[in-house]
Amino acid sequence: MYHLSLTIIATSSFLILTTITIDRFLALRLHLRYQEIATRRRCFITLFCIFVFSIAVGLCKELIEKKGTLIRVLTIISVFSFLSLLFLNAYLIFEISRVIRRHSVQIHSQQQSVKQSIDMPRYKKSVNTMYYVIGAFVLCYVPYAIVFAAITAINVSPTNAAYAMATVETLVMLNGVLNPIIYCWRIKELREKAMKMLH
């Protein structure tokens, strides 16, 4: 159950993070059309698909590991998918930053027209929050991917493999603690709600 839940949570977390990055990119690129494309219904469908896919990945991983076959293929696919989505996140964040910088140096009249379609100061703040969230994610998940790939690729003693995996799995779980801290620190409304709940 531990490994199954770890796979499901890690997969869904990464896919949700990627979805948020794509959402921020679309908000910047689509301007006024964003509201009609990014509906609440589509958001729920996307989240449902992410969780169904994450559960399927977790179950497949458990079944393959129990049979002892195809584990190297699964590892290669997992690492390739992880790196591809990581590069996609990096590319989209780079593109978002480039557009924000360009808008920041435009003349006053152009800034006014941008503000009609998107609240740039608020958007900048949400993108900066994403930098912190993605940074924490990379810090916590990349060591796991490296150790997982290394243990699968080379012959490591079971004891050393267990110690290494326990260490990097702790980092993965730490990401779940860091995210609420980052959100409370960066989002005033969330911080105020959290403080009200604590009092």
Contact, 32 vs 43, CB < 8 A?
A: no
Instruction: Please write down the HEC assignment for all residues of 1-56.
Output: CHHHHHHHHHHHHHHHHHHHHHHHHHHHHHHHHHHHHCCHHHHHHHHHHHHHHHHH
Domains of the chain: 1-198 (1.20.1070.10)
> What are the pLDDT digits (tens) for 56-88?
988 888 877 666 557 777 777 887 888 898 889
> What are the pLDDT digits (tens) for 146-199?
887 787 777 778 788 888 888 888 888 888 888 888 888 888 888 888 888 887
Contact, 28 vs 118, CB < 8 A?
A: yes
Contact, 123 vs 28, CB < 8 A?
A: yes
